[in-house]
Amino acid sequence: MPAIKLKEISTRAPESISKEKTKGETDAMLSELDDLQNLLYAENRHSLLVVLQGMDASGKDGAIREVFGKLNPQGVMVKSYKVPTEEELSHDFLWRIHSHAPPKGMIQIFNRSHYEDILVTRVHKWCDNATAHNRMDAINDFEKLLALHNNTQILKFYLHVSPEEQMERLKERTSNPKKMWKYNEKDIEEAKYWDEYMNMYEECFSKCDYIPWHIIPSDQNWYKEYLITKKVYETLKGLNMKYPKLKSDR
């Protein structure tokens, strides 16, 4: 697989794509996705792990709300990873991750994930390169374990937003009453490390590739939601799941 260069990938939808038509296709897939999620739960043979990574204000929360918010909450779990606690830091870096891996029948969403331990930690020099590369090997082994031994389908999305769009969204949090709760003065400071983050993400894409990454143009929310919905829909549809029969008919 050729190396991913984020500067070569647009953060917007192609101009030839119709917004209204695309939103209609998204709605149609979401309607079917509700049935597929119910089937996943009933068959209880597979699970789905959705990893959402991206810079601050890239739209992770919105993707969770708009793509997965209409599904049965009994079959969907969301875990947001913050700064590790003291207890979490006393264990290996995957300890806090593994307990949230999805059981069969469930969809688990990671809002940020185990990848933070080879991204933000390297940008801020909290983790040296040798340790980071060892962690990359461990991540590949971890994802292979889930895929091969628990029938877990893993979808890894990088929400690809432009620095200009990110700054607009961060500034909106200072003026929009509905978004002020998201404001964190540290986000502006963190945005100054943009180039370093892009370098770390690109190395992450190339070395943590047992499960491939999907780069999602995210300057326009409707296009971001379409692409994520389409991939989730196609993944679940491809499992060819069936509802279990009565025990006497098996």
CB 103 within 8 A of CB 72: no
pLDDT of residue 249: 57
pLDDT of residue 178: 86
Q: Give helix then strand counts, H and E, for the chain.
A: 10, 5
13 falls within a domain: no
133-191 pLDDT tens trace: 999 999 999 999 999 999 999 999 999 999 999 999 999 999 988 888 888 888 888 99
Find the CATH number of the domain harbouring 102: 3.40.50.300
5 falls within a domain: no
For residue 189, the enclosing domain spans 21-238
7 falls within a domain: no
pTM exceeds 0.85? yes
29-67 pLDDT tens trace: 999 999 999 999 999 999 999 999 999 999 999 999 999
248 falls within a domain: no
40 falls within a domain: yes
How many structural domains comprise the chain?
1
Strand order in the sheet with 152-160: 76-80, 107-111, 47-54, 152-160, 213-217
- Average pLDDT of the chain is 95
